[in-house]
Structure 1
Amino acid sequence: MRKAIYPILALGLLSACSVTVKDIPTPITLPPKFSATGQAKLFDKWWLAFNDTALNQLCEQALTGNFSLMAAFNRLDQAKAIAKKTGADLIPQVNGNVLASGVSTDSARNNDFALGLAASYELDLWGRIRSAVNAAKLDVNATEEDVFSAAISLTAEITTTWYQLVEQRQQLKLLDQQIEINRNNVTLIMVRFKGAQATAADVFQQQQLLESVIGSRYIVISSITVLENQLAVLTGKPPGTITVPIVDELPAVSPLPETGLTLDLMQRRPDIRKAYFTVQAADQRIASAIADRFPKLSLSVSVEGNSPDLQALLNNWLATVAGNLVLPIIDGRRRVAEVERNRAVSAEALNNYASSLLNAVQEVENALVQERQQRLLVTNLERQVQLARQASSMIRLRYINGAIDFLRVLSAVLSQQSLERSLLQAQVQLIEYRINLYRALAGKFPLADASTH
C-alpha cells in the first residue's frame, strides 16, 4: 500500500509546485519622462522637505494614533488570516475521536473503549489549491499596499490641514492690522466730518468697511478652531485635547523635486502596485477555476481501535486506506460559468490597472502645471499688493489735502485689503499644489503597525 501511495503523493506535490505567478505586462504605453523635473531629493517621508518641526511631530503622531490607519492594518491582518486559511488545504487534515462508555447491571458491568484517527488529503494534481493560495497571498500584498496608500493620504491630509491652519492664523494677524487701519480711518473721517470737510455718508461707509473686516475676523476664528479640531482627530485625539503649536508664517516652497521616470512611479506608488497584485491574483483565480473542472483525487487513512479493556485497546487496531476520485460530469455548467466570471474579473482588474497608471501620470502632470502657474500668480499678486499700498497711501494724502473725495480713498483701501488676503490664499494654494505633487510621487516609507499601539 505504501508503495502505491508514495508515487501518487509525489505526483500531487510536483503538480502543486508547478503553479507559478505570471508577470503582467504594462497594458498601456506611457511617456518615459514627465514634463518637468527638478534636482531636489525626494524624501521617502516626503513631508520632511518642508523642514517644519511642528508638521513632523503631527505626522508622526498621526502615523501611530490615527484610527483609520489602524483599521487599514486590521484589514491587512484579515487578509493574512484568509491566506493562512486557504493554505491549510495543502496540509492533510487529521481528526481524532475517543469514546468511553459503560453499562452496569445487577450482575456485571460492560465497558466499551474506542479510539480513532482519520486523515484526509486532496492531491492538488492540477494546481487548483495552489492557485487559490497564490491568489490569497497576492491579496495580502495588495492589502499591504492599501496600508501604505492610507499612510500617504493621511500625511497629505495632515500637511494640508496644518498649512491651512497656519494660513488662517496669518489671515487673523492681517485682519487685526486691517481693523486697526480702518479704525484710524474712521477717526480721521469723524474729525473731517466735524470740520464740515466730510459728509455723513463718508463716515457711514468707513464704519461699514470696519464692521465688514470685523465680521471676516469672526469667520477666520471659527476656521482656526475647526482646523485645530481636525488635526486632533487625524492624530487620534478628541478635539480640544492636543496643543497645536502657534505658527503664523507659511514656509517658502522648496525647489522642485526630481520627478524621475514614469517607470519609477509605477514601481513606487502603492496604489499602482496594489492594482498590479490584483491583476495577478485574478489570473491565479482563473487557473484555480479551470482546475476545478478536472477530476479530484483524495486519499483518506483511518485507524480505529475498539476493546472492552482499556489496556487491550492499544493492541487491537484496524487500519483503512482509501482513495477517492471525483469526476465532474453534469453540473449545469456551473464550473464553466465560474471560469467565465473569473476571466471577467481579471479583465476588469487589468483595466483598473491601466486606469491607475493613467491617473498617476495625470496627477503628477496636473500638480506640475498647477504649481508652475501658481508661482506666477503669487508673484503677480505680490506686485499688485505693492502697487495697491503705494496707491492707497498717495490717495489718502490727496484726500487729506482735499484734492479728491472719500470714495477714491474707500475704493483704494478695499482693493488693497482684498489683495492682501488673496495673496495669503494664493501662497497656501501653492503649498497645497506642492503637497499634491509629493503625494503623487510618494512611495513606501518605514511604517510601524499602528494597530498594536
Structure 2
Amino acid sequence: MRHAWGGVAAFGFLLGGCMVGPDYVTPAVPVTPKFKEATRPVDPKTDGTWVRAIPSDAFERGKWWEAFGDPELDRLEDQLGDANQNLREAEARFAQSRALIRLARASEFPSVSAGASAASIKESAHQPYVLQTNPQPLGDFEMPVDLNYEIDFWGRIRRGVEAAREESQATAADLSTASLSLHAELALDYIDLRAQDAQQRLLDQTVKAYAHALDLTLKRQSGGLAPESDVEQARAQLDTIKVQDTDVGVTRAQFEHAIAVLIGEPPAALNIPPAPLGQLKPRAVPGMLPSELLQRRPDIAAAERRVAEANQQIGIADAAFYPNVNLAALAGFQGTTPANWFVWPSLLWSVGTTLSQPIFDGGAIRAQSDAVRAAYTENVASYRQTTLSAFQDVEDNLSTLRILGREAKQQRDAVIAANQALKTFTTLYIGGEVAYLQVITAQTTALSNEVNEVDIQRRRMEANVRLIKALGGGWDVGQLPVLASSGLPRGAFVPVGQQ
C-alpha cells in the first residue's frame, strides 16, 4: 500500500506544475501623455482647481470631502459609511467572494469521509439454485474511511482558485466604487440643499425689496403721482416672487429626504439647519497624468481584475481537453458481529487511480472553450471602455470648472450692472421720469442674474465633487485586498501576500 501511494504521489508531483491555457498579461489601453484640459492656461483668479502636483501635495486620502471644510457635511459623510444599506449590500457581496475563494481552494486537497453501518441480514430460504446451509440471520458491520483526490495535472483547480481570487479583488473594487459613488452623491445632494438655502435667502430679500417697491407705488398713487396700474403691477410682482420663495421649500425638502436615506435614517428623523453655500470651500486638486488614473479608479481596477479572471477561465476550459486523473482509497473494518468487527482479519483496504478522457461529446468542450474566449474578449473591451469613460469624466469636469470659472466672473459683473440699473430706474421712477414697467423689467433682470450667480456657484461646487470622483477620490489600487497567490504570472494590479 505504501508503494502504491508513493508512486501515485510522485507522479502527481512531477506533473502537478503543468498549466494549460494562456498566461495573463494586462491588456493595453489607449492613453494620452496628458489631459487635454491640463494643457490650457489657468487663470488663478477664475480657475485654480487643477494645480501641478508636488511631493508634499498629497491628494486627500479616504475622507476627501473634508477638503470642503464643512463640519455638517463631514458628519453626514461619516454617518453614511456606517449606515447606508447599499454599502452594506456591497460589503456582503465582497464577504461572499472571500468565502468562494475558500470553496475553490478546498478542491486542492483530498476529500476524506468516514462512516459506520450495522445491519442484520436474513436471506430467503427459497432462493433458486442456492443451497441454504445457514438460514440464520447474518450481521454486516462496516466502518470505512474513503479518500478521493483529483490530481491537478493541467491546472484546472489552481486556475479556479486564481479566478476566485481575482473575482474577490474585483468585488472589493466594486465595493470601493459603490462607496465613492455614494459619498459623492451625498456631497452633491448637500451642495444642492445649500444652493436651495442660498436661493431662499435671495428670494426672502427680494420679497422684502418688492414689498418696499409696492409701498412706494402706494404712496405715489395716494399722492396722485402714479396711476393705479403701477400699484397693480407692483402687487403682481410681489405675489409672483412670494410663490417662487415658497416653492423653494419643496426642492429643499426633497434633497434633505434624499440625504436622510443615504445615511440610513427615515426622512422624518433628519433636520439640517439652513447655512450659506459659501461656507463650502473646496481645495485645488493636484494634477496628474492620464496613466495614473489607471491606478486610482476602483471601477478600472474591477474591470481589469475581471479580465484576469476571464483569462483563468480559458485555462479551465482548455483543461477539459486533457485526461482527468483521480486517486481513490478506502480503508476500514468489516465484520459479521460486533465481536469480530475490529480484529485484524476484518481489515480491508483498496487504493487506485482512474483516468477519464473525453472521446466524443458533440462539440461541447470546444463550444465551452470558444465561449470563454469570447467572454475574455468582452471583458477586455469593457476594461478599455471603462478606461476611456474615466478619461472623459476627468476632461468633462476640468473643462466645466475652467469655463464656469470664467463664467462666474462674467456673471458677477452682470449682477453688479443689473443692480446698478435697478437702482437707476428706481430713482428715475421716483422722479417721474420713467414708467413703472421699466422698474419691473430692471427688477426681473437683477433677480435673474442673482439666481444665475447662485446656480453657477452650485455647478462649480458640483463639478469639483465630480472631478474628485472621476480621479478616484483618493483611492488607489494598493487598497485592493491582499490575497494569497499560487505564483502564476499576474498583471500589474496584483498584490502579494497571505490570505
Of 239, 258, 266, 2:286 maps to: 258
How far did 1:396 drift? Answer: 0.2
- Equivalent residues of 2:282, 2:461 under 8 A apart: no
2:487 is aligned to: none
Quickly say closer, same or farther: Cα 1:69–1:260, change in 2 above 3 A. Answer: same
Quickly say closer, same or farther: Cα 1:296–1:87, change in 2 above 3 A. Answer: same
Matched, 1:278 2:306: yes
* SS of the residue 1:209 aligns to: helix
Residues in 1 aligned to 2:51 and 2:119: alpha-carbon distance in whole angstroms: 83
How far did 1:81 drift? Answer: 2.1
How far did 1:7 drift? Answer: 4.3
| Worse-superposed segment, 119-128 or 9-18 | 9-18
* SS of the residue 2:350 aligns to: strand
Of 202, 212, 221, 1:184 maps to: 212
How far did 1:359 drift? Answer: 0.9
* SS of the residue 2:75 aligns to: helix
Residues in 2 aligned to 1:303 and 1:93: alpha-carbon distance in whole angstroms: 14
Residues in 2 aligned to 1:348 and 1:238: alpha-carbon distance in whole angstroms: 41
**Letter of the 2:351 counterpart:** V
Deviations 1:121-163 (A, max 9, x none): 1101001111111111100010000000001001100100111
* SS of the residue 2:51 aligns to: coil
Residues in 2 aligned to 1:109 and 1:346: alpha-carbon distance in whole angstroms: 63
2:430 is aligned to: 400
Unaligned regions of 5+ residues in structure 1, if any? none
Matched, 1:444 2:475: yes
Following TM superposition, where does structure 1 have runs of at least 4 consecutive aligned residues deviating by more than 4 angstroms?
A: 13-23, 108-111
Quickly say closer, same or farther: Cα 1:317–1:174, change in 2 above 3 A. Answer: same
| Worse-superposed segment, 66-75 or 382-391 | 382-391
Residues in 1 aligned to 2:270 and 2:280: alpha-carbon distance in whole angstroms: 26
- Equivalent residues of 1:135, 1:280 under 8 A apart: yes
- Equivalent residues of 1:15, 1:127 under 8 A apart: no
Unaligned regions of 5+ residues in structure 2, if any? 39-49, 123-135, 482-499
Residues in 2 aligned to 1:328 and 1:200: alpha-carbon distance in whole angstroms: 99
Of 52, 59, 75, 2:77 maps to: 59
| Worse-superposed segment, 359-368 or 1-10 | 1-10
Deviations 1:409-433 (A, max 9, x none): 0100111111111111110100000
How far did 1:339 drift? Answer: 0.4
- Equivalent residues of 1:79, 1:140 under 8 A apart: yes
Of 164, 179, 188, 1:160 maps to: 188
- Equivalent residues of 2:70, 2:280 under 8 A apart: no
Residues in 2 aligned to 1:284 and 1:13: alpha-carbon distance in whole angstroms: 22
Specify which structure has the higher proportion of helix.
1
* SS of the residue 2:269 aligns to: coil
1:33 is aligned to: 34
**Letter of the 2:25 counterpart:** I
**Letter of the 1:362 counterpart:** Q
Deviations 1:314-349 (A, max 9, x none): 222110112110010000010000000000000000
Residues in 2 aligned to 1:16 and 1:50: alpha-carbon distance in whole angstroms: 56
| Worse-superposed segment, 389-398 or 22-31 | 22-31
- Equivalent residues of 2:26, 2:304 under 8 A apart: no
How far did 1:195 drift? Answer: 2.5
| Worse-superposed segment, 247-256 or 180-189 | 247-256
Deviations 1:208-246 (A, max 9, x none): 211111111222111111111111100011112134244
Quickly say closer, same or farther: Cα 1:4–1:205, change in 2 above 3 A. Answer: same
Residues in 2 aligned to 1:198 and 1:15: alpha-carbon distance in whole angstroms: 104
* SS of the residue 1:298 aligns to: strand
Give the superposed CA RMSD: 2.3
1:287 is aligned to: 315
Residues in 1 aligned to 2:289 and 2:340: alpha-carbon distance in whole angstroms: 76
**Letter of the 1:43 counterpart:** E
- Equivalent residues of 1:76, 1:140 under 8 A apart: yes
**Letter of the 1:297 counterpart:** V
* SS of the residue 2:197 aligns to: helix
1:200 is aligned to: 228
How far did 1:2 drift? Answer: 3.0
Of 42, 61, 77, 2:59 maps to: 42
Residues in 2 aligned to 1:148 and 1:325: alpha-carbon distance in whole angstroms: 45
Quickly say closer, same or farther: Cα 1:374–1:304, change in 2 above 3 A. Answer: same
Quickly say closer, same or farther: Cα 1:414–1:349, change in 2 above 3 A. Answer: same
Quickly say closer, same or farther: Cα 1:100–1:418, change in 2 above 3 A. Answer: same
1:299-314 alignment, distance < 5 Å: 299-314=327-342
Matched, 1:79 2:97: yes
**Letter of the 1:401 counterpart:** G
- Equivalent residues of 2:4, 2:351 under 8 A apart: no
1:344 is aligned to: 374
* SS of the residue 1:114 aligns to: strand
2:392 is aligned to: 362
- Equivalent residues of 1:13, 1:124 under 8 A apart: no
1:298 is aligned to: 326
Deviations 1:74-113 (A, max 9, x none): 1112222222222221111112221123579xxx986542
2:8 is aligned to: 8
Matched, 1:93 2:111: yes
Quickly say closer, same or farther: Cα 1:321–1:359, change in 2 above 3 A. Answer: same
Residues in 2 aligned to 1:10 and 1:175: alpha-carbon distance in whole angstroms: 85
Residues in 2 aligned to 1:205 and 1:409: alpha-carbon distance in whole angstroms: 10
Residues in 2 aligned to 1:114 and 1:93: alpha-carbon distance in whole angstroms: 20
- Equivalent residues of 2:59, 2:285 under 8 A apart: yes
* SS of the residue 1:240 aligns to: helix
Residues in 2 aligned to 1:254 and 1:162: alpha-carbon distance in whole angstroms: 14
* SS of the residue 1:250 aligns to: helix
Residues in 2 aligned to 1:431 and 1:257: alpha-carbon distance in whole angstroms: 13
**Letter of the 2:399 counterpart:** V
Aligned length: 446
Quickly say closer, same or farther: Cα 1:151–1:290, change in 2 above 3 A. Answer: same
